[in-house]
Homo-oligomer: A and B are copies of this chain.
């Protein structure tokens, strides 16, 4: 296999994804196959020899799902990066797994089409990785997540057999929905080598509005109120005060003082967008907004969304952090955000909290000092407390980042005994020798 290396220096660069608090083992080799046949060759060998295989995209994941395992072959799909077809009539695109999300998104946009899933990592993450983790993003609130766009997959199974599953047609119920089962399975059931996604017609450029609130709870209440009007925002994001402070410290955007919660929304309904934003402004003011800014053109819209765009990089400057990813019913958002603030106080770690409010999907960022064992311990405790809070509010421990290594224990709590047992049965049906990303998502027996 000339696409395989055992050079320790090279291997070292492929050991980690971007998760905090996750260890990585020492792999035996890195395979960078150029096609499905080479992927199958790796799997056949690994199956025969019972060697663990860790599939990898761009390693931008946040849960350790792509982290190396001792003695494993790292199977990077980065060289399989071709857009195979964009079907402008049937509105589908067929790609190899290593295609970068933004490359696909721009290629289809050039043809007047739209691939909505837009994880924060979209400029660097791959479609294969997006499918393996069922990535979300800012557009989800209106357009859905990655799995809503997956039509057909080619998957190399644990023993090297090649499965095509799903279909290119708009509808189809011939057999079990295995394409969905592979989507979000984090490389534990098979290795995805080709993907056909659905596309939509391009939308209009969005307009933006921003509302400022004196309490985080008031901002969250407005989220439910606004969605209840029947409007479907193409983006509806929340930032709490610590997030706003981090952004302001990074770049002064002229946010007002004493803001405890910010909502940012967009509408991409073209001529109807100003009406959507006016309705948002009305609901926000009725809900106690201290100020509402509504963009009247694209340039202003870009300016208003800037604060949310900068949140990630601004928070990176706060130091090491654990990004959490809890999703709760929209109606429980205020309780969640207030609960996170209480957890932050209780454990003595900053936890700026922002996220996709329209979906109830929040990203509390637990900031800690990695040099201080007590701070690390308190950070971990806060992280756990946040997931417990999410479950208590009827939510899930992960809205879009996945389980990987980071949340295996919490997954068992969420699934319960029967759920865990069924997950193990499914895992064993696809991976009887336990070689596919073992120890990720589902623990072995």
Q: Which chain A residues have a beta carbon within 8 Å of chain B's beta carbons?
A: 87-91, 112, 133-134, 136, 140-141, 145, 147-148, 157, 161-165, 167-178, 180-181, 183-185, 189, 201-202, 224, 227-232, 272, 327-331, 356, 358-361, 394-403, 407, 411, 414-416, 418-419, 421-423, 425-426, 428-430, 441-442
Q: Judge whether A163 and B228 touch: CB under 8 Å.
A: no
Q: Contacts A175-B411, A425-B430; is A224 near B170 (CB within 8 Å)?
A: no
Q: Judge whether B398 and A172 touch: CB under 8 Å.
A: yes
Partner pick for A176 among B167, B181, B329, CB 8 A cutoff: B181
Copies in the complex: 2
Residue pairs across A and B with Cβ atoms less than 8 A apart, 18 shown, are A89-B228, A90-B330, A147-B180, A162-B418, A164-B418, A164-B419, A165-B419, A169-B361, A171-B396, A171-B400, A173-B401, A175-B415, A175-B441, A176-B181, A176-B423, A181-B181, A272-B272, A422-B430
Q: Judge whether B419 and A425 touch: CB under 8 Å.
A: no
Nearest Cβ distance between residue A34 and chain B, in whole angstroms?
Answer: 22
Nearest CB to that of A163 among chain B residues? B418
Contacts of A428 in B (CB 8 A): 429
Query: In the complex the two chains form, what is the Cα distance from A355 to B197 in whole Å?
Result: 24
Query: In the complex the two chains form, what is the Cα distance from A165 to B425 in whole Å?
Result: 15
Nearest CB to that of A231 among chain B residues? B201
Partner pick for A173 among B134, B359, B360, CB 8 A cutoff: B134
Partner pick for A89 among B224, B402, B416, B441, CB 8 A cutoff: B224
Nearest Cβ distance between residue A420 and chain B, in whole angstroms?
Answer: 9
Query: In the complex the two chains form, what is the Cα distance from A134 to B177 in whole Å?
Result: 10
Query: In the complex the two chains form, what is the Cα distance from A295 to B202 in whole Å?
Result: 28
Q: Judge whether B173 and A416 touch: CB under 8 Å.
A: no
Nearest Cβ distance between residue A326 and chain B, in whole angstroms?
Answer: 9
Q: Judge whether A426 and B176 touch: CB under 8 Å.
A: yes
Contacts of A89 in B (CB 8 A): 224, 228, 329-331
Q: Judge whether B170 and A176 touch: CB under 8 Å.
A: no
Q: Judge whether A171 and B202 touch: CB under 8 Å.
A: no
Query: In the complex the two chains form, what is the Cα distance from A130 to B170 in whole Å?
Result: 18
Q: Judge whether A396 and B167 touch: CB under 8 Å.
A: yes
Contacts of A232 in B (CB 8 A): 201
Query: In the complex the two chains form, what is the Cα distance from A360 to B403 in whole Å?
Result: 37
Q: Judge whether A112 and B230 touch: CB under 8 Å.
A: yes
Contacts of A147 in B (CB 8 A): 177, 180
Query: In the complex the two chains form, what is the Cα distance from A225 to B151 in whole Å?
Result: 22
Q: Judge whether A228 and B88 touch: CB under 8 Å.
A: yes
Q: Contacts A230-B202, A331-B90, A418-B161; is A171 near B140 (CB within 8 Å)?
A: yes
Contacts of A163 in B (CB 8 A): 418-419, 422
Nearest Cβ distance between residue A26 and chain B, in whole angstroms?
Answer: 28
Query: In the complex the two chains form, what is the Cα distance from A169 to B357 in whole Å?
Result: 12
Q: Judge whether A185 and B176 touch: CB under 8 Å.
A: yes
6 further A-B contacts with Cβ under 8 Å, apart from A90-B224, A163-B422, are A169-B360, A169-B399, A174-B397, A174-B415, A180-B180, A201-B232
Q: Judge whether A403 and B175 touch: CB under 8 Å.
A: yes
Q: Judge whether A172 and B331 touch: CB under 8 Å.
A: no
